[in-house]
Amino acid sequence: MRLPRVLLSALALSATLFLSSSAASTSDHDDDDEFQLRQLTDDNFKSETAHGIWLVEHYSPKCSHCRAFAPTWTKLAKEKQHLERLTGFHMAQVNCLAQGDLCNANGIKFYPQVILYVDGKPQPHYTGDRSYTDMAKYIDEHSMEYVQDTMMRSEAEGDGSSGVSRPNPEGKVVEVNEEQLEAFKEAGPVLVDFYAPWCGHCKKLRPTYEKLAEEMQGKLNLVAVDCDRLTSFCRASGVAGYPTIRIYHHGTQTEYSGARSLSKMKEFAMKAVQVTTLQTIKAADFSQIVQTNEAFFLYLQNFDTTVAETQSVKTALEPLLGAVPAYTSADPDLYKRLSIANPAPTSVLLAFSSYSARPVGSLSFPASQDNLNRFVNLHRFPTLVELSGSNYNAIMKSPTRAVVVLGAIHKGDEGEKEKERLAEVARAWKRGGRPFSQPVWFVWVDGEKWAKWLKQQYGIKKKELPAVVVVDPPLNEYYDTTIEGHQIAFDGTSIFSVLEGVYQHFLRPKRIESTLEWGSRSAAATLITFGQMSVDHPLLSLVSLVGAVALFVFLLQRCNSRDNRDGNGHAISSRLD
């Protein structure tokens, strides 16, 4: 949604006009030397009132009622000035003594007469009490009504103005080559199945994939790439096994690693459809959004928001592929509810997490695209997120090169308390942590379920839970020592000390061992132990060696037999595509 940009006053008053009205406007209508009541003339009346909502007082300096009303009008004009940016509401005057033709053309018969103009069209003149309270209520009601009407018009216009062809019109999977896939990627989000015709798992998946295409008719394009025919292209695309399911959108790709059931794959596919643009909301929608989204973004616009700014926000949010919902609003009630500065100085992008109505981060505009991207990447996950098989690549192998604070906790009630402690640290970091060039994400794992992985990767033993390390996945390194030289503890002071050391490059990282490196080191240790045993017990060593070789040969035969059969138990030829 894009709201129309209201034109602010552009024409200066002439010196003669200002002097002719100064007696009334300065002595009776303006108590503040720095505040100037806006005056309209025959030259600028139509151009100014053509956009937005304008409350115009037609008055005469000779009118006693006008002089009596002047303090109330001046106070209203000063205190409602912030609505210009927020809702497009303006207040102005016409001096009918100096602008007689303009007043006559507008049918002014008495003074003061107050008329509301909406996008240049006059409404019935104000007939209520001229007290501050009554007029303030009138202004608030009509400015709010104007914003809501504008939002509804913008939504309606946006629904039919895109001109983009409907995706997946027939509800079928389309076989594509490299060039055709690029065309689909240019058109919008597309789900791709990289497969090989001889692969048993691919054959098993295909009926489900075709059923998914039927259910995503008109919503999302589904295509398939035959990697037996396009081997080089699949290799260049980083396809390591079959089938590989990916969503491509806006220059990014997200690989599917969940269960290959229709419901789970549809849930994954819908993420690319649900939020490819900002969804417009009103203040009344906010509570429900907070209750149903663990994390989301809210872009508060106003009547100074530009097309370029809105597009930059969409560009930063679209690569999330719908994983995190994004909303927009210009509802003044939301500004008030969220305690945004009043008058609102700029548009603002807010990040929310953990089902809380209090934002965990905010970015005011103007902002560079780099700062905008950094803000979105910092808050793309909830304040504290569980590391699982389905999001492992997105977190630990993210193209954003994120730093990960990894907490390993117990199961059950004890683990819940530990999780809340880590969440408090994460919230504190988001409120005032160092502005890393990389995002810093806080994640937790079940330390008992992931015990072997934690010990292999980071040296965390089960008996040491709860434990925490700071991981730099792009460099395959981690930190477990504070600036003070102490082992990192499961508390905010210790974690912040490590993060500070990482930021300042004070700490020496430890290298994360790959599985091969870990296996090699373990094998070396075993050989050393075996060598020592062979010296002390040569006969026992010989028997152990023969038994180990026999077991190895047996397992190798089993693996070869299994690898040479597809998912249905039929023999297949071995190949590396």
| Residues tagged active-site | 199, 202
Strand-pair partners of 293: none
Work out the number of other CB atoms within 10 angstroms of the CB of residue 236: 10
Q: Is the dihedral of CA 223, 315, 355, 144 positive or negative?
A: negative
114: closest CA among 85, 145, 73, 172? 73
CA-nearest of 409, 406, 433 to 420 is 409
Is the peptide bond prior to 243 cis by the omega test (within 30 degrees of 0)?
yes
- Long-range residue pairs from 505-513, CB within 8 A, at least 24 positions apart, any chain: 507/479, 507/481, 507/483, 508/481, 509/472, 509/475, 509/477, 509/478, 509/479, 510/459, 510/477, 510/478, 510/479, 510/480, 511/476, 511/477, 512/457, 512/458, 512/471, 512/476, 512/477, 512/478, 513/456, 513/457
CB-side exposure of 84: number of CA atoms within 13 Å? 16
Backbone angles phi, psi at 328, to 5 degrees: -140, 155
Give CA–CA dist 214/242, Å, rounded: 22
Q: At CB < 8 A and 24+ separation, what contacts does 259-267 make?
A: 260/205, 260/208, 261/208, 262/208, 262/211, 262/212, 262/215, 265/208, 265/209, 265/212, 266/212, 266/215, 266/216
Measured distance CA(416)–CA(398) in Å, rounded: 27
Residue 227, CA distances (Å) to 192, 267, 367 in order: 12, 26, 43
Q: Taking Cα atoms as reference points, which of 55, 57, 47 lies closest to residue 10? A: 47
Q: Which of 301, 436, 433, 311 is nearest to 369 (CA)?
A: 311
* Residue 486 exposed, middle or buried by CB count within 10 Å (0-12, 13-18, 19+): exposed
3-state secondary structure 334-378: HHHHCCCCCCCCCCEEEEEECCCCCCCEEEECCCCHHHHHHHHHH
Closest CA to 330 of 162, 158, 152, 118: 152
The maximal CA–CA distance of the chain, rounded, in angstroms, is 123
How far is it, in rounded angstroms, from Cα 328 to Cα 426? 26
Which value, in Å, is the radius of gyration of the alpha carbons in the chain? 33
Of 313, 351, 329, give the one whose Cα is nearest residue 281.
Answer: 329
The token duo for 317 is 């949010």
Between CA 385 and CA 417 the distance in angstroms is 15
